[in-house]
Structure 1
Amino acid sequence: MQKLGLKSRNITEDQKEKLKALFPEVFTEDKIDFEKLRLTLGDEVDEGEELYGMIWPGKKDCFKVIQEPSIGTLKPCRDESVNWDTTENLFIEGDNLEVLKLLQKSYYGKIKMIYIDPPYNTGNEFIYPDKYSESLETYLAYTGQVDDEGRKFSTNTEADGRFHSKWLNMMYPRLFLARNLLRDDGVIFISIDDNEIKNLRALCDEVFGEDNFLANVIWQHSIQPKGYTDIFSVHHNHVLCYRKTNRFMLKSIHRTEKDNKHYSNPDNDPNGDWRSGDVRNALYRPNLIYDILTPSGNVISPPPNGWRWSQETLNQKIASGEVIFNEGQSRIIRKIYLKNQSGRAPETIWFANDVGFTREAASSLKSLFDGVLPFDTAKPVRLIHRICEISGLEPDDIVLDFFAGSAPLAEALLTKDDFQHCKYILIQLPEHINTDKPHGKIAEQLNLLTVADIGKERIRRVIKKIEKERAEQLDFGEPKQDLGFKVFKLDKSNFKIWDGNIANKPIQEQLELAIDHIDPNSREEDILYEILLKSGFELTTPVEKLTVAGKKVYSAAEGALLICLEKNLTKELIRAIAEKEPHRVVCLDSGFKGNDQLKTNAVQIMKSFKVESFRTV
């Protein structure tokens, strides 16, 4: 009988398995023979001493961080949630590094789009800790869940000599883990300013691959010039865009009247309005260089690189009327019909009038909070609408933001018809608000003591606003919008997990864990969701409470997984569970009361009913 793994997905083992699938011959006794790998790759191996790449202090430690599994959990918080029983949206409070690790089993390769607005590293913004080996303990100390021994998150200043490297050490593991969560047709957008755009571009080239770079969008975030005389007035930020693989297809944006103003129909073409298009070839093609003889006998010479089409194709287009001669028959005109234009290619400059600006974001948030502003760095909802649009989101797609801030992504999805049936996962550290600033004082007055509190309250207010508007409208039977979200909070595991580093804890203390390894303060629902998460099920998986042989059993995903948390297991109960024919079963190990014979019988019973996996925890 196997134990359920209580640690997050092992990233190192995943990478080894991928390599083994490609090159099984380079493995000996499950170890990589790097000399064989070098010989297998042949000329592809660069043996030079100096290789191009990005190096910074602490980069090696980033890989250790990625490989170190999380032993935490995500505890459900019904009281702060909205429509818990029906919603498929998530708001998770916690250090996003730990949370991203915990999501690896359940959401690996499931996210369609990621948008993040990380700290810009201006010297005053909040930076996550780089004491990675203690990430969960540091987080628990920060949130007051364990004794604080002086470890804390802080701002990143140039005075400490590691200004850029601390930021890179913070971002690299998070981007690496985030990439794992993307679908093969997934895409990520990252807001950033000039302080770290160079480093972020290099970082993303390494994590996602240079071939998967799509754009560095310049977003005009400000319209009014700042009143300084000796420096440039900065009016832009960047939005970096990378796909996971070439399976991602960039979508067009909706056309506006402005886009169509150059279309007309001066010759009453039955195909409708049109505009002229280029007839020249972009590259030199000798086979496309030929003269055109007009109906009046004129000869039109080819452009330097040749025509856009072969002579046969051009003749067909002339016959169909798609290509016409001008009045003097001295040149040809290509017609591009408006009816064939379903959208417009997204461009790399986004103007404030089209996608919003920072003051608009502040004004919108202020309106939502009854005329006061509890948060001062929100992104405009229209900006995120544009990002969602070109991502090609479809109903039931999952969108992730692991620097959620005031939760503009949730509002963007909830308030646009095209994206109302997408699901979101928001992750936000419960960063304490700065009550020295005006917006911090306002947040405190509203009893919003952390950035996470502000994000949750924003979503609640958006939901209430939508519900009020819907109440005044007729119901035409459309699919119901998901107006809710489940709140989970990062915490230590409900199970006392053996610490292999006994230098940190006395061996006697470790051995005592074996007596009763369940935290006595844990609620049954906490244990249930930890088992779900670490069994690889999504946190929004439907869970039903059953009565089996007179005992309580939880059924997840319509019976695919049965979870029994009974502390006194019997052969009759085990058989009754197996008779439900689930794919997987998880029971408490302590429920067997040390009865090895009962364990053996349980395994045989599960096998007889073809239960694929039977584990204890």
Structure 2
Amino acid sequence: MPFRPLVPDQPKGIGPVALDGNLIVHGDNLQALKALLPHYAGKVDCIFIDPPYNTGNEGWCYNDNVNAPMIKEWLESNPIGVEDGLRHDKWCAMMWPRLRLLYELLGDEGTIWVTLDDNEIHRARGILDEIFGEESFVCQIVTQSNKRGQTYKEIAKTHEYILVYGKTPFSVLHEIETEGENLPEKDDFGKYSARELRNRNPKFGRHNRPNLFYPFYAKSGFTDDNGNHYVSVEPFEGAEEIFPLNSSGGESCWRWGKDRSRARTENKSTEFLFAAKTRAGEWRVFEKYRKETIKAKTIWSDSKHITEQGTVELGKLGLADLFPFPKPLGLLEDVISIATSDDALILDSFAGSGTTGHAVLEANRRDGGSRRFILVEMEDYADNVTAERIRRVINGYDFEGIQRTEMLRERLNWRVLSNSEELVHKVEGIENLHSHEFDRIKKEVKDGELVVTGEKAVADRADGLGGSFTYCTLGDPVELDKILSGETLPPYSGLGAALFHMATNQSLETGNIREEDFYLGKADGQQVWLIYKPDLDWLKSPEAALTLARAKAFAATDPDKRHLVFAPTRFVSQKMLAEQNLPVEFVPLPFALYRIDRS
């Protein structure tokens, strides 16, 4: 697949164009993930995807309604149905490259969450084991998606699955917050429990998290009315330095970055942080945690996780008729709570109705966080459903219309029809129990199913959550596919211009190029480099790799700037670059270029 750059469409977004902010990308997700790679390789904190389940009853559709011309053309010549003996092979062939790209985008501490049912769950585990490694498997969650179940089956199926994998052993998951009443401490701001701000996980420290190693300042006797010492990230008269050191004096790191700590202490309050001395006279910094937490379980059966709840939520936004079976907001809120911190980047490359973006905005409203989302949707509804939902959530909206709640969905087959009295009795029972809740109970047969829906006229105003996003499409292809065979090798400036645009969304000033030492140019405080020559044998040689020596040379040209280096491969890890305090970041050349196997 050729590379296609991101092209902002400002009128369809909210706020100024910002490729480093919230993004909604309309286009094939394989091409979109490739377009995102130069911007976000190794930077995504959480990936949530809801790919096609491949049930065999849809003619293999994407979200039950394929409209994209490219996919439609492919399906017409490759019909995928329950009789297709290759439908599982085709599903795996579709998922493999997408998961491979998602792996490249995920950060070392990140996790990926994949929703599926029984049709492909075992094949998905095989693919994920291969790409992420069996040791990176975290768990397989069972979610109750339908309380009544698929009653046309011999045993009514009520559940789906979520597969969870980490990128590396450094992957981090959190407990779920609860509004508990068992917090042991109390101050003027409410109940809390004191938790040391130092990261107690021995995997983390100054050596691999240098940005989380910095001093706090506190002074004996400088306390609030409850005896808690004020703490600051700025020095003041008489204050002592407090570094994140473990019990043996080793250099650990904080759980919060310096900007967040500054924001939580600049009003000279102990609402969020305070300092205290141990019996040995050593300072410690504590966070006032105001919510109880519990470990997440592998069975999720709360009503907020049920699929029809997603339909109700989309109905409140006035969009229920435009998208079937959206994922419920509560499901994504729990995933985000477990998988991310309050400044995380969350990616959904099968975005559908946009529930993931909605959940990110809700999470930020709830705790004042700065999480960002990237949503990718290929279908025509990317604008009028996915993006429109986010517009309404951000701006607020007036809703006057019909709120629909699905009460029953029953597939009609001969067994059901032969027991029609039982079905009629079930429908009458719904009417008797719930008719007072709705203006009417609607019964209709659609696509071979009896659907019973409660309808109620509502008129309401929802306040907006605030925020912004940039809407993008994919530009014309950059012809790189023939480079693999060496049939065509673009000149340095031609390839460099395409990659520079992908990385910076700016055009390249060709007069600044220094091809002899692989320099492209600078933009937004960063220097951009490209290790490349239009020579097939050279590209396959070790000379084409980013090495430690080369990284030092690049950094030495401008030590105060970030250096982004495109190269076919590397012989130095990002961890080693960090240990050497080199502001150099490796970005693999697009997947249409060389992936040299050095094993």
Aligned partners of 1:140 and 1:491 also within 8 Å: no
* Structure with the higher helix share, 1 or 2: 1
* Post-superposition CA distance 1:348-371 (Å, at most 9, x none): 011133x4311111011011016x
User: In the alignment, which residue of structure 1 is the partner of 2:396?
Assistant: 465
Matched, 1:184 2:108: yes
Shift of 1:583: 3.3
User: In the alignment, which residue of structure 2 is the partner of 1:389?
Assistant: 337
Tell me: CA distance 1:373–1:341, structure 2 relative to 1, closer, same or farther (3 Å): closer
> SS of the residue aligned with 2:142?
strand
Matched, 1:373 2:321: yes
Shift of 1:218: 0.6
Distance in 1 separating the partners of 2:110 and 2:331: 19
Alignment map for 1:168-317 (pairs within 5 Å): 168-228=92-152, 231-256=154-179
Alignment map for 1:487-498 (pairs within 5 Å): 487-493=471-477
> SS of the residue aligned with 1:215?
strand
Aligned partners of 1:142 and 1:153 also within 8 Å: no
> SS of the residue aligned with 1:159?
coil
Distance in 2 separating the partners of 1:390 and 1:85: 30
Which stretches in structure 2 are left out of the alignment for 5+ residues? 185-191, 194-288, 400-459, 514-520, 531-553, 567-599
User: In the alignment, which residue of structure 2 is the partner of 1:92?
Assistant: 25
Distance in 1 separating the partners of 2:140 and 2:157: 17
Aligned partners of 1:70 and 1:102 also within 8 Å: no
Q: Aligned match of 2:56 in 105, 118, 123?
A: 123
Shift of 1:226: 4.7
Alignment map for 1:338-353 (pairs within 5 Å): 342-353=292-303
Aligned partners of 2:394 and 2:466 also within 8 Å: no
User: In the alignment, which residue of structure 2 is the partner of 1:455?
Assistant: 386
Shift of 1:347: 0.4
What letter matches 1:375 in structure 2? F
* Post-superposition CA distance 1:531-570 (Å, at most 9, x none): 5454x34x6xxx7xxxxxxxxxx7xxxxxxxx3389xx9x
Tell me: CA distance 1:582–1:198, structure 2 relative to 1, closer, same or farther (3 Å): closer
* Post-superposition CA distance 1:387-408 (Å, at most 9, x none): 001113222x211001111110
User: In the alignment, which residue of structure 2 is the partner of 1:142?
Assistant: 70
Distance in 2 separating the partners of 1:411 and 1:341: 23
Alignment map for 1:472-487 (pairs within 5 Å): 483-487=467-471
Distance in 2 separating the partners of 1:613 and 1:70: 22
Distance in 2 separating the partners of 1:451 and 1:100: 16
Tell me: CA distance 1:91–1:197, structure 2 relative to 1, closer, same or farther (3 Å): same
Q: How many residues align?
A: 361
User: In the alignment, which residue of structure 2 is the partner of 1:412?
Assistant: 359
What letter matches 1:348 in structure 2? T
Aligned partners of 2:145 and 2:305 also within 8 Å: yes
Aligned partners of 1:402 and 1:426 also within 8 Å: yes
Identity, % of aligned pairs?
27
Distance in 2 separating the partners of 1:458 and 1:153: 34
Distance in 1 separating the partners of 2:564 and 2:118: 51
User: In the alignment, which residue of structure 1 is the partner of 2:45?
Assistant: 112
What letter matches 2:70 in structure 1? Y
Tell me: CA distance 1:199–1:366, structure 2 relative to 1, closer, same or farther (3 Å): same
Q: Aligned match of 1:78 in 3, 10, 22?
A: 10
Q: Which moved more, 1:197-206 or 1:343-352?
A: 197-206
Aligned partners of 1:189 and 1:242 also within 8 Å: yes
> SS of the residue aligned with 1:177?
helix
User: In the alignment, which residue of structure 1 is the partner of 2:263?
Assistant: none
Distance in 1 separating the partners of 2:293 and 2:347: 26
CA RMSD in angstroms comes to: 4.7
What TM-score, normalized to structure 2?
0.51
> SS of the residue aligned with 2:178?
coil
> SS of the residue aligned with 1:206?
helix
Tell me: CA distance 1:115–1:471, structure 2 relative to 1, closer, same or farther (3 Å): closer
Distance in 1 separating the partners of 2:95 and 2:48: 14
Tell me: CA distance 1:344–1:517, structure 2 relative to 1, closer, same or farther (3 Å): closer
Shift of 1:118: 0.3
Over alpha carbons, which structure has the higher Rg?
1
Tell me: CA distance 1:472–1:213, structure 2 relative to 1, closer, same or farther (3 Å): closer
Shift of 1:340: 12
Which stretches in structure 1 are left out of the alignment for 5+ residues? 1-68, 130-138, 265-271, 274-338, 431-448, 474-480, 519-526, 544-553, 555-562, 570-576, 587-606
Shift of 1:225: 4.5
Aligned partners of 1:127 and 1:153 also within 8 Å: no
Shift of 1:491: 3.4
Shift of 1:374: 0.9
> SS of the residue aligned with 1:373?
helix
Matched, 1:583 2:527: yes
Tell me: CA distance 1:155–1:410, structure 2 relative to 1, closer, same or farther (3 Å): farther
Shift of 1:428: 1.2
User: In the alignment, which residue of structure 2 is the partner of 1:136?
Assistant: none
Tell me: CA distance 1:341–1:360, structure 2 relative to 1, closer, same or farther (3 Å): closer
Tell me: CA distance 1:610–1:452, structure 2 relative to 1, closer, same or farther (3 Å): same
User: In the alignment, which residue of structure 1 is the partner of 2:425?
Assistant: none
Shift of 1:108: 1.1
* Post-superposition CA distance 1:219-265 (Å, at most 9, x none): 0111235544x6111111101111111112221112355x97xx99x
Tell me: CA distance 1:195–1:225, structure 2 relative to 1, closer, same or farther (3 Å): closer
Aligned partners of 2:46 and 2:340 also within 8 Å: no
> SS of the residue aligned with 1:250?
coil
Shift of 1:426: 0.9
Distance in 2 separating the partners of 1:613 and 1:142: 34
Tell me: CA distance 1:501–1:252, structure 2 relative to 1, closer, same or farther (3 Å): closer
Distance in 1 separating the partners of 2:484 and 2:501: 25
What letter matches 2:378 in structure 1? L
Aligned partners of 1:119 and 1:125 also within 8 Å: no
> SS of the residue aligned with 1:583?
strand
Aligned partners of 1:212 and 1:245 also within 8 Å: yes
* Post-superposition CA distance 1:274-305 (Å, at most 9, x none): xxxxxxxxxxxxxxxxxxxxxxxxxxxxxxxx
What letter matches 1:250 in structure 2? L
Aligned partners of 2:3 and 2:479 also within 8 Å: no
Distance in 1 separating the partners of 2:298 and 2:118: 16
Aligned partners of 1:428 and 1:452 also within 8 Å: no
Q: Aligned match of 2:373 in 424, 442, 454?
A: 424
Tell me: CA distance 1:403–1:377, structure 2 relative to 1, closer, same or farther (3 Å): same
Tell me: CA distance 1:160–1:385, structure 2 relative to 1, closer, same or farther (3 Å): same
> SS of the residue aligned with 1:489?
strand
Tell me: CA distance 1:98–1:614, structure 2 relative to 1, closer, same or farther (3 Å): closer
Alignment map for 1:440-589 (pairs within 5 Å): 449-451=380-382, 453-465=384-396, 483-493=467-477, 499=482, 531-534=499-502, 536-537=503-504, 563-564=508-509, 583-584=527-528
* Structure with the higher strand share, 1 or 2: 2
Distance in 2 separating the partners of 1:204 and 1:614: 28
User: In the alignment, which residue of structure 2 is the partner of 1:17?
Assistant: none
User: In the alignment, which residue of structure 2 is the partner of 1:159?
Assistant: 83
Tell me: CA distance 1:91–1:126, structure 2 relative to 1, closer, same or farther (3 Å): farther
Aligned partners of 2:2 and 2:480 also within 8 Å: no
Aligned partners of 1:92 and 1:487 also within 8 Å: yes
